[in-house]
Amino acid sequence: MISEWMDQSNKTVVFTGAGMSTESGLPDFRSALQGMWRNKDPKYYASTYALTHARAEFIQFYRQRITGLLAHRPHVGHHLLAEWERRGRVQGIITQNVDGFHQAAGSLRVASLHGNLNRLFCMGCQATYPAEQFLTDAGIHCQCGGFIRPAVVLFGEALPDHEVRLAEELISGVELLIVLGSSLQVSPANLFPLLAKEQGAKLVIVNWEPTEFDEEADWVVNGKKIGDWLQQVHRELNQK
Residue positions forming the annotated binding site: 122, 125, 142, 144
C-alpha distances in Å from residue 229, one per residue of 63, 81, 106, 209: 32, 12, 20, 14
User: Closer to ligand NAD at the Cβ: 112 or 142?
Assistant: 112
Q: How many residues bind ligand NAD (CB under 6 A)?
A: 25
User: Closer to ligand NAD at the Cβ: 132 or 209?
Assistant: 209
User: By CB under 6 A, which span of 118-126, 129-137, 206-214, 230-238 interacts with ligand NAD?
Assistant: 206-214
User: By CB under 6 A, which span of 17-25, 83-91, 162-170, 191-199 interacts with ligand NAD?
Assistant: 17-25
Choice from 225, 231, 232, 236 touching ligand NAD (CB under 6 A) = 225
Instruction: Count the Cβ atoms, other than its own, within 10 Å of residue 6.
Output: 21
Query: In angstroms, rounded to a whole number, what is the distance separating the alpha carbons of residues 197 and 209?
Result: 21
Choice from 21, 47, 116, 118 touching ligand NAD (CB under 6 A) = 21
Q: Does 194 bind ligand NAD (CB under 6 A)?
A: no
Q: Does 30 bind ligand NAD (CB under 6 A)?
A: yes
Query: In angstroms, rounded to a whole number, what is the distance separating the alpha carbons of residues 55 and 68?
Result: 20
Task: Choose among 137, 6, 179, 8: nearest CA to 84.
Answer: 6
Query: In angstroms, rounded to a whole number, what is the distance separating the alpha carbons of residues 53 and 90?
Result: 42
Q: Does 99 bind ligand NAD (CB under 6 A)?
A: yes
Q: Does 47 bind ligand NAD (CB under 6 A)?
A: no
Shortest distance (Å) from residue 90 CB to ligand NAD: 18
User: Closer to ligand NAD at the Cβ: 9 or 97?
Assistant: 97
Question: Tell me, what amino acid is at 231?
Answer: Q
Using DSSP's 3-state secondary structure scheme, residue 121 falls into strand
User: Closer to ligand NAD at the Cβ: 131 or 142?
Assistant: 131
Q: Does 96 bind ligand NAD (CB under 6 A)?
A: yes
Query: In angstroms, rounded to a whole number, what is the distance separating the alpha carbons of residues 6 and 38?
Result: 42
Q: Does 182 bind ligand NAD (CB under 6 A)?
A: yes
Question: Tell me, what amino acid is at 133?
Answer: Q
Query: In angstroms, rounded to a whole number, what is the distance separating the alpha carbons of residues 202 and 199?
Result: 9
User: Closer to ligand NAD at the Cβ: 5 or 229?
Assistant: 229
114 catalytic residue (yes or no): yes
Q: Does 213 bind ligand NAD (CB under 6 A)?
A: no
Q: Does 209 bind ligand NAD (CB under 6 A)?
A: yes
Backbone φ and ψ of 175, nearest 5°: -110, -25
Assign 3-class secondary structure to 145-198: CCEEEEEECCECCCCCHHHHHHHHHHHCCCCEEEEECCCCCCCCCCHHHHHHHH
Q: Catalytic site residues? A: 114
- Contacts to ligand NAD by CB under 6 A: 17-19, 21-23, 26, 28-30, 96-99, 114, 181-183, 185-186, 207-209, 225-226
